[in-house]
Structure 1
Amino acid sequence: MSIQTSRRALLAAAALAAPAIWGRDAVAQIRRGDELTVGIWGGAQERITRQFCATPLERQHGVKINYVLGGTPERRARAYAERGRPSFDLLYLNIFESRQAVKDGVTMASSANVPNFANLYDIAKIGGYAVAFNPVTIVYDRRKVAAPMTSWRDFWRDDLKGKVIWPTYPGAQGTSALLMAAKVWGGSESNIDPAFTNIARLRPFAAIQGSQDQLYGMFDQDVGAASVEFGSFTRKYAETRNPNIVIADPTEGQAIATNVACITTGTRNQALAEAFVNLHLSPECQAAYAEEIYYSPTIKNVSFAPELAAKLILGEAAVNKLVDFNWDLVIANQPRWSSRFTREIAG
């Protein structure tokens, strides 16, 4: 489907796509008056899912969709505290939190109960239903580097000395930066020493950044030349505020990051939650995300105009190039690595 299709047509198609009964027992069916509680980020995430998921379901089934907006840590903590008796029916987590939540029995694994499950890339079926690829990569100011950055090793080039804005750890950006540093310097999740040794060689940093907004402010103020950040958000920043910023495609690959829809274990509204996820995985909703904030689709059955397609992760080859990690090891080591980062890198 092309993104040129009108928004009105997309919404109508989404409404028609809302599933009714998929052959499951009556207890699991959607009933008029049901209420679904969804924990999600605000902004575009809320706005797009309201248009393509919540509104069609409310109109077709006479249900109510309640949103709880906020950050991932708060959602995750609440879901764990309420394990087995959830107030969330559906919550959105990041890649490693979602996989751990399934193992801990807080949320359910993905399944074919959601029809669009069949269209997901295999890696998007782990830990729930990945609804967007939002990989972490190198971002830099083209005016402040001697040559394009094409490798994670480029952070250690002489022309970047004192110009690197390193991301704090833990956090998605800092985790990706740490793990990719390990990878390119001969280490891994099970051998993190090369990462710490070589990141320490980058000091003095231009700054340590703890958020996208903080990094973009630093770029605006010419604080440094390069950092590690979500490519999609940075592309939007570059196109609206700072055309000198480049989103790199390193030869070693971009670090995988996904937003994952997770249905809670014990929800009384499983069928409604599955219907919501199914609409989030529709070509219409996925196209809206790509068009507005450059999130790459996790389904295979959607197409884009060439200009937009060039800015997304599309197709098996591109998805397979994303660098995944052993998240069990990462999670197990996070407290120790966090202390070490404070002591050896940020201190």
Structure 2
Amino acid sequence: MKLIKTIAAAAALCGLTAAIPAFAQSKTIYIGMNGGPMEKAYTSQVLPDFEKANDVKVVVVPGTSSDILAKLLANKTNPQIHVVFLDDGVMARAVSMGVCKKLDDAPVLKELYPFARMKDDMGAGVQLGMTGIAYNTKLFKEKGWAPPTSWLDFADPKYKGKVVFQSASSSTFGLHGFLEINRLWGGSEQNVEPGFTKWQSTVGPNVVEYIPNSAKISEMVQTGEAGLFPLTPTGVGDLQDKGIPVAYVSPKEGPVLLLVDLCVVNNNPDPQLAQKLAQFLLSAPAQTKAAIAGKQIPTNRLATMPASMQQSLGNLDDLVKKVNVVDWDVINAHRAQWDARWNSQIER
């Protein structure tokens, strides 16, 4: 009898031991995206639904788009990241460098705004942004200034010493602002001479500081240094949540389309699961939650936004008809020369 009990106990222990690896086999999948508000919104409200439905852990690898692309290029043949979010300009470079794998054909792709589908479905927009004009509402009230209305307001002499401009060589917001002002002076992506020629005598005198990214804007608004600067509705919403007195304006000439695109990383360890995650993130339920949690503007036409976002942005279908679209293939072909010229001529 004692022997039987011993055998039974051993068998039970073996069964328990066998169960442990099965439990531990729950997969981990990695996604690269911006840290801060975006990471918080996705980790708190969006990704848990995918984890629960697929018995998988999704780990965010935070970083700027350029940082994430650098990681992918350094491990191109054996990447550990499965899916990435990149700003559209950086994503165009990533696709051209063979980093991305074509998205599987799926019904969710047909739910996206047409401009959110990249050529050959090598990626797709997961968040819609628009670079427009943000302004310091407290300062404007004190000065008795009406809200700005045009990209050319950055050249208005009354704003001397109150314009903060992100560096066009390191920031998409700064580059968008420069290209739109260049366009209004008769230029284009193929011709940036008007922008570089006229900048120092128009916008330049108004700029109190060129900043590499938007991180410093919060502080500069509170000190009264920043009165006017390029930014997106989501960026403005993040500042408002912190009690910073700012507002967003869509310029009369139109804001600039700014997409955060996703792509499935080529050669990733689990392409099937990566495709499944990509489709989930493009879905209406996921994008609705991202809008609620982090003011992420959806690219899926079936997703909904909170009432506060709808009130601030207006009808999204109408708004997307007014956005200006830049040609990233042309920009990336000339970006190195532009960056060098900006750094030596504008920020010298």
TM-score w.r.t. structure 1 length? Answer: 0.83
State the partner residue of 1:131.
126
Q: Distance in 2 between matches of 1:35 and 1:292?
A: 23
Shift of 1:305: 5.1
Q: Distance in 1 between matches of 2:186 and 2:50?
A: 50
- Moved runs in structure 1, 4+ residues, more than 6 A? none
Does residue 42 (structure 1) correspond to residue 72 (structure 2)? The answer is no
Q: Distance in 2 between matches of 1:294 and 1:51?
A: 13
Kindly tell me: are residues 236 and 35 of structure 1, through their superposed partners in 2, closer, same or farther at Cα, counting changes over 3 Å? closer
State the partner residue of 2:178.
178
Q: Distance in 1 between matches of 2:128 and 2:144?
A: 28
State the partner residue of 1:151.
150
Kindly tell me: are residues 46 and 189 of structure 1, through their superposed partners in 2, closer, same or farther at Cα, counting changes over 3 Å? same
Identify which of 210, 213, 222 aligns with 2:212.
Answer: 210
Q: Distance in 2 between matches of 1:307 and 1:130?
A: 23
State the partner residue of 2:163.
164
TM-score w.r.t. structure 2 length? Answer: 0.83
Tell whether the 8 Å contact from 1:54 to 1:276 is kept in structure 2 after alignment: no
Question: RMSD of the TM alignment (CA)?
Answer: 2.2
Kindly tell me: are residues 61 and 232 of structure 1, through their superposed partners in 2, closer, same or farther at Cα, counting changes over 3 Å? closer
Tell whether the 8 Å contact from 2:166 to 2:214 is kept in structure 1 after alignment: no
Q: Distance in 1 between matches of 2:187 and 2:293?
A: 37
Tell whether the 8 Å contact from 1:48 to 1:285 is kept in structure 2 after alignment: no
Shift of 1:38: 1.4
- Give SS of 1:256's match: strand
Q: Distance in 2 between matches of 1:54 and 1:194?
A: 45
Tell whether the 8 Å contact from 1:49 to 1:280 is kept in structure 2 after alignment: no
Letter in structure 2 aligned against 1:95? D
- Give SS of 1:322's match: coil
How many residues in Structure 1 have an aligned counterpart in Structure 2? 314
Shift of 1:313: 6.8
Within 5 Å, which residues of 2 pair with 1:1-347?
Answer: 33-113=26-106, 115-126=107-118, 127-141=122-136, 142-143=140-141, 144=143, 146-170=145-169, 171-201=171-201, 202-204=203-205, 205-243=207-245, 245-304=246-305, 306-312=307-313, 314-347=315-348
Kindly tell me: are residues 294 and 55 of structure 1, through their superposed partners in 2, closer, same or farther at Cα, counting changes over 3 Å? closer
Render the CA deviation track for 1:146-197: whole Å, top value 9, x for unaligned.
3321110111223223322122122111111111111111100110011112
Shift of 1:223: 1.0
Render the CA deviation track for 1:69-95: whole Å, top value 9, x for unaligned.
222222101112222432211111110
Tell whether the 8 Å contact from 1:220 to 1:242 is kept in structure 2 after alignment: yes
Percent of residue pairs bearing the same amino acid type:
23
Shift of 1:45: 2.6
Tell whether the 8 Å contact from 1:102 to 1:109 is kept in structure 2 after alignment: no
Letter in structure 1 aligned against 2:155? W
Tell whether the 8 Å contact from 2:134 to 2:248 is kept in structure 1 after alignment: yes
Q: Which has the larger radius of gyration?
A: 2
- Give SS of 1:320's match: coil
Q: Distance in 2 between matches of 1:325 and 1:111?
A: 26
Q: Distance in 1 between matches of 2:155 and 2:47?
A: 47
Letter in structure 1 aligned against 2:39? E
| Structure 2 unaligned blocks of 5 or more | 1-24
Tell whether the 8 Å contact from 1:181 to 1:195 is kept in structure 2 after alignment: yes
Kindly tell me: are residues 185 and 300 of structure 1, through their superposed partners in 2, closer, same or farther at Cα, counting changes over 3 Å? same
Q: Which structure has the highest helix share of the two?
A: 2
- Give SS of 2:215's match: helix
Kindly tell me: are residues 60 and 226 of structure 1, through their superposed partners in 2, closer, same or farther at Cα, counting changes over 3 Å? closer
Shift of 1:34: 3.6
Q: Distance in 1 between matches of 2:46 and 2:173?
A: 29
- Give SS of 2:244's match: coil
- Give SS of 2:204's match: coil
- Give SS of 1:212's match: coil
- Give SS of 2:341's match: helix
| Structure 1 unaligned blocks of 5 or more | 1-31
Render the CA deviation track for 1:15-64: whole Å, top value 9, x for unaligned.
xxxxxxxxxxxxxxxxx744322112223333333355543333333333
